[in-house]
Amino acid sequence: MMHLAMGPKTYSLLHPIYVKPLRRFSVGKPTLSEEINESTFVVADIDKTGQLQSFWDYLKRTPKGELEGYREKRFAEAMQIAAAASGITINEYLRDNYHWASLGKAKFIFWHCDLSRWAESSDRVTFQAHDFSTPQAVSTDVYVLKTMLHDWPDKYVIKILQNLKPYLEAGSRLVMFESIFPSPDAEGRYNLPSTTLRMLCTTDL
Ligand SMILES: C[S@@+](CC[C@H](N)C(=O)[O-])C[C@H]1O[C@@H](n2cnc3c(N)ncnc32)[C@H](O)[C@@H]1O
């Protein structure tokens, strides 16, 4: 899904920690690994589990002595802060740049997962906690996926979207809202902040 601008500027951001998983999972293979448990974050093994567990597994795990679910809660709060603090205020952009009115009295499901515990549903809008690696279980007019797909390899994104199929009917809508970054040949023409470039490198690896 995401293009990483791989010019000299970007390579210079590669810390040795990014090289380790590349060597372990991708060297000698025709393509880079697309497995979510073969990443830099997984190799770092912050909880010292000795297992290859993804970032999402890490969020679900509660270390001894901590409040159950605190990592997921903190992550959800961080997402809200990121949306509010971004150069473009994402929620307002989403509100103002889609013809919501053209959908009439449609009913919506927002896949909001961990945030669903805090978001308030109404008679037309449901914030649904749903594991998107399994088939969608509820029918509605419009499904909204906001910044849900960007950090998944393409093969997983295809599976996630296929999981929506059983409940899609003629006229159903799928609204996806993601950040779009410059393509590799655009490096130099856009001055992305180095923090954004680092985040992109980490996500890709
Ligand atoms: C970048 S956050 C975006 C959250 C929210 N949509 C927003 O825009 O603030 C990505 C979300 O994907 C969720 N996620 C990760 N794995 C998932 C899965 N298997 N099923 C459903 N959601 C998942 C995470 O819990 C997280 O909330």
Q: How high is the pLDDT of residue 18?
A: 75
Name which residue sits closest to atom 16 of ligand 1, judged by CA.
56
Instruction: Report the pocket of ligand 1 as residue ranges, CB < 6 Å.
Output: 56, 79, 83, 112-115, 131-133, 146-148
Compute the distance from residue 129 Cα to the ligand 1 centre, in Å: 9
Q: How high is the pLDDT of residue 2?
A: 36
Closest ligand 1 atom to the C-alpha of 131?
Answer: 20
Q: With a cut of 50, say whether residue 148 has pLDDT above it.
A: yes
pTM, two decimals, is 0.76
Mean pLDDT, the chain, as a whole number?
78
Compute the distance from residue 149 Cα to the ligand 1 centre, in Å: 8
Compute the distance from residue 119 Cα to the ligand 1 centre, in Å: 14
Stretch 118-139: mean pLDDT, rounded?
Answer: 79
Name which residue sits closest to atom 11 of ligand 1, judged by CA.
148
**What does the block give as tokens for 202?**
């980490």
Percentage with pLDDT > 70 across the chain: 72
**Worst-scoring range by mean pLDDT, 14-28, 161-175, 177-191?**
177-191
| Domains of the chain (ranges, CATH numbers) | 101-177 (3.40.50.150)
Compute the distance from residue 75 Cα to the ligand 1 centre, in Å: 10
Compute the distance from residue 112 Cα to the ligand 1 centre, in Å: 6
Q: If pLDDT is split at 50, 70 and 90, which confidence band does 7 have?
A: very low
**Worst-scoring range by mean pLDDT, 2-11, 48-57, 169-178, 180-189?**
2-11
Closest ligand 1 atom to the C-alpha of 59?
Answer: 25
Q: How high is the pLDDT of residue 118?
A: 52
Segment of 14-18, 82-86, 88-92, 142-146 carrying the highest mean pLDDT? 142-146
**Under 8 Å CB-to-CB from 158, ≥6 apart: which residues?**
none
Q: How high is the pLDDT of residue 168?
A: 86
Compute the distance from residue 147 Cα to the ligand 1 centre, in Å: 8
Q: How high is the pLDDT of residue 77?
A: 84
More confident residue, 187 or 24: 24
Compute the distance from residue 189 Cα to the ligand 1 centre, in Å: 31
Q: How high is the pLDDT of residue 192?
A: 64
Closest CA to 110 of 95, 127, 123: 127
Express each pLDDT in 186-203 by its tens digit: 655 556 667 766 776 666
Strand ranges of the sheet holding 108-111, from the earlier edge strand across to the other edge: 125-128, 108-111, 142-146, 173-177
Q: How high is the pLDDT of residue 202?
A: 64
Give the largest Cα separation in the chain, rounded. Answer: 54
Q: With a cut of 80, say whether residue 182 has pLDDT above it.
A: no
Closest ligand 1 atom to the C-alpha of 90?
Answer: 8
Give yes or no for a contact between 146 and 80, defined as CB atoms under 8 angstroms apart. no
Closest ligand 1 atom to the C-alpha of 133?
Answer: 19
The conformation of residue 104, written as its DSSP 8-state character, comes to: T
- 144: three-class secondary structure by DSSP: strand
Q: With a cut of 60, say whether residue 63 has pLDDT above it.
A: yes
